[in-house]
Amino acid sequence: MYTHRHLNVKPSRRNMAVIHCLGAGLVGSYVAKTLAIRGHNVHVHDLNINNRQLVGVQNITLHEGDALDISFSDYDNIDMVINMLPGDIGHALTTILVEESAFPSVDLSFSEYTPDNLNEHAKDCGGRILWDVGIAPGLSNMLLAEAYRVLGRLKNAEVRVGGNPTDPIGKWNYMAPFSPKDVIAEYTRPARVIRKGEEIVLPAISERHIIHVPERGEMEAFLTDGLRSVLNSIPAIDMSEYTVRWPGHIQKYIDERDAGTLNEEELLIDWWFDTKIPEFTWMEVTATDHDGNNLKWEVSDYGGDDGSSMARTTGLVTVGCVEAWLKDPNMLPTGVHAPESLPPIVVKSIIEMMKENRVEIKGPDIII
């Protein structure tokens, strides 16, 4: 059964956008609250509406129930829908949203099943979806697209990214800034990469190596399946994405997995995100052309009172995409679109907004 709770939803100004946010986890709550503060009329749908971050926030209406049961026709004047449900649940909703022609959708769900194969169906139905709009995938795609635009076909492209406690803690040296089940899937799903110009599949958590992260020191990086759409959209001889963790974390995971003692239910508890523990998000995107020219961006955030670092860096990219699309409703045609398809002026505006919100981004400016 679907219920509605109205909390301080009097509009702060006229002509605000009406946005429906599906999912109110760490990232979903941050996105919803940020959009509400920026003056939009935000409807949040989640199984649990007792969310301390959202209760009492002006411009937010909370709806309790299963997002898969929503009938969008029950609502008037929807300007945009944001899918922030995890994993396969999020993908199930995406398959519904591609058939909606009345409003565009921004998709932050992260599933093994990517929505690009729904492109033709979306075109037939008049649906419009922009997907993978986080930090990685998301901002990483945009930066790789910028590198390709500046350098041409790339010889090598690499993304290293991770959200971690600021110092090793506990027996796992880790806590999950998003759904722990999605982290487990990330460690399990084979990694698609580009080698010698061809897409190949390598084991997840392979190619382990030590890197130096500014201000934090030595950390470990390993292959995961994060490239997704750029495998086909960005020409490169070699391309990889690596997840970054504190040393010892992934070895413990491998040891327990191989010994048959890995208990996923216990991991959900052991990896639960503790907002009282300092944490940070760090990403490095590098690209090199055939003449040795290279571009490099570094993104880092240590969170704040308004949310965890991963929620902020991921959520600000989402908010930037939403507001750019609201500003220009014709920004994207019917179909399913990856973040690297966004015009440079939008990418530049997203980066500027992130910097304004204390996310540190070093690297060349986006050329318009």
Which pLDDT band, with edges at 50, 70 and 90, does 5 fall under? very low
Same-domain status, 82 and 161: no
Confidence (pLDDT) at 230: 98
**Residue 277 falls within a domain, yes or no?**
yes
Same-domain status, 118 and 230: no
The last residue of a domain, from among 99, 131, 163: 131
Same-domain status, 71 and 157: no
Confidence (pLDDT) at 2: 42
Give the domain range for residue 92: 3-131
Kindly report the CATH number assigned to the domain that includes residue 263: 3.30.360.10
Kindly report the CATH number assigned to the domain that includes residue 107: 3.40.50.720
**Residue 251 falls within a domain, yes or no?**
yes
pLDDT digits (tens, 9 = 90+) for 172-205: 999 998 778 889 989 999 999 999 999 999 999 9
Confidence (pLDDT) at 6: 35
**Residue 275 falls within a domain, yes or no?**
yes
Same-domain status, 187 and 60: no
Average pLDDT over residues 213-226: 97
Which pLDDT band, with edges at 50, 70 and 90, does 301 fall under? very high
**Residue 234 falls within a domain, yes or no?**
yes
Tell me how far apart the alpha carbons of residues 99 and 87 are, in angstroms, rounded to a whole number: 20
Higher pLDDT: 238 or 273? It is 238
Tell me how far apart the alpha carbons of residues 285 and 154 are, in angstroms, rounded to a whole number: 13
Same-domain status, 269 and 181: yes
* Residue 26, CB-side half-sphere exposure with 13 Å CA sphere: 21
Same-domain status, 227 and 245: yes
Q: Is 277 helix (H, G, I), strand (E, B) or coil?
A: coil
Which pLDDT band, with edges at 50, 70 and 90, does 28 fall under? very high
Confidence (pLDDT) at 331: 97
**Residue 332 falls within a domain, yes or no?**
no
Confidence (pLDDT) at 15: 57
Residue 12: alpha-carbon gap to chain centroid:
29
Range list of β-strands (E), the chain: 3-7, 18-22, 41-46, 60-64, 80-83, 105-107, 128-131, 154-165, 191-195, 198-202, 209-213, 217-223, 236-245, 279-288, 294-301, 335-337, 360-362
The pTM of this model reads: 0.93
**Residue 330 falls within a domain, yes or no?**
no
- Amino acid of residue 307: G
Give Rg (Cα) of the chain. 20
**Residue 359 falls within a domain, yes or no?**
no
296: left (phi over 0), alpha (psi -120 to 50) or beta: beta
Tell me how far apart the alpha carbons of residues 117 and 134 are, in angstroms, rounded to a whole number: 20
pLDDT digits (tens, 9 = 90+) for 134-164: 999 999 999 999 999 999 999 999 999 999 9
Same-domain status, 118 and 202: no
- 324 pLDDT more than 60: yes
> What sign results for the dihedral spanned by CA atoms 318, 220, 259, 168?
negative
pLDDT digits (tens, 9 = 90+) for 305-321: 777 899 999 999 999 99
The closest of 100, 67, 73, 80 to 31, measured between CA atoms, is 80
Same-domain status, 169 and 230: yes
Cα-Cα-Cα-Cα torsion 70, 74, 80, 84, nearest 10 degrees, comes to -10
Same-domain status, 91 and 180: no
The last residue of a domain, from among 109, 131, 153: 131
- 3 pLDDT more than 60: no
Average pLDDT over residues 65-87: 91
Of the chain, the end-to-end C-alpha distance in Å amounts to 49
Average pLDDT over residues 46-53: 80
Other C-beta atoms closer than 10 Å to the C-beta of 79 total 18
Which pLDDT band, with edges at 50, 70 and 90, does 357 fall under? very high
Which pLDDT band, with edges at 50, 70 and 90, does 261 fall under? very high
Which pLDDT band, with edges at 50, 70 and 90, does 275 fall under? confident
Confidence (pLDDT) at 10: 34
Average pLDDT over residues 347-368: 96
pLDDT digits (tens, 9 = 90+) for 90-140: 999 999 999 999 999 999 988 888 899 999 999 999 999 999 999 999 999
Strands 217-223 and 236-245: antiparallel
